[in-house]
Amino acid sequence: MSAEPSEGASQDVRAAVLEVLQTFNKTSVNLEDGTRFTEDLNFDSLLVMEFIAALEDRLDISVPLNVLPDIETVGQLVVATEQIVREEYG
């Protein structure tokens, strides 16, 4: 697992998020911090869950449901994921 905390942890998380997201990027949109999940990537609630599961497996974390409503963009997801990785791996 790539979630071991290290100097480059933050960089790793960003790379992991983008890597997983790329496999769900059916509209071939350029993934940037400002890319929006619903409007730009066409994510519906089912796809969101499928993507979250893949991200959880990739980083061996558990993403709580209550973070989702505040996440609209890729950048916000990266920040939230970094936070979860820090909490779970110290």
Partner 1 sequence: MSSPTPTKNTSLPKRLADFPTLPDALDYAAQGETGFNFYSSRGHLNEVLPFADLRTKARDVARNLCGAGVVSGDRVALLAETAPAFLIAFFACQYAGAIPVPMPTPVAFGRRDAYVGQIRNQITSSGAVMVITPLEFMPFVKEAADGLDLLLVGTLDDLRAQPQADDLNTGGPDDLCYLQYSSGSTRFPKGVAVTHDNLMANCTAMNVAVNVSTEDRGVSWLPFYHDMGLVGFMLGCLTSQTTVDFIPTEEFARRPLAWLRVISENRGTMSYGPSFGYELCCRRFSSSNAAAPNLDLSSWRVAGIGGEMIKPQVMRAFAKVFKSCGFADKAFNASYGLAECVLGVSFSTPGHGMLLDHISKQELGGDHRAVPIDDDGSGTGRTFVACGVVIDGHTVEIRDDDGAVMAEREIGRVFFSGPSVMQGYFGDQEATDACLQDGWLDTGDLGYFWGDQLVIVGRSKDMMIVNGRNYWPQDIEWTVEHMDGMRSGDAAAFTLEQDDGSEKPTILVQCRPSAADIREALVDNVRSRVQNQVGLACDVILVPPRTLPKTSSGKLARGKTKANFLSGEIQPLAAGA
Site of interaction with partner 1 (CB under 8 A): 36-39, 42-46, 48-50, 52-53, 56, 64-66, 68-72, 77
Amino acid found at 51: F
Nearer to partner 1, 44 or 87 (CB): 44
Which residues, in sequence order, are bridge partners of residue 36? Answer: 73
Between CA 5 and CA 70 the distance in angstroms is 25
Nearer to partner 1, 9 or 40 (CB): 40
Please, what is the minimum distance in Å from the beta carbon of residue 54 to partner 1? 9
Amino acid found at 9: A
Please, what is the minimum distance in Å from the beta carbon of residue 90 to partner 1? 21
Nearer to partner 1, 9 or 80 (CB): 80
Please, what is the minimum distance in Å from the beta carbon of residue 77 to partner 1? 8
Instruction: Give me the phi and psi of 23, to 5 degrees please.
Output: -70, -15
Closest by CA position to 28, among listed 17, 41, 43: 41
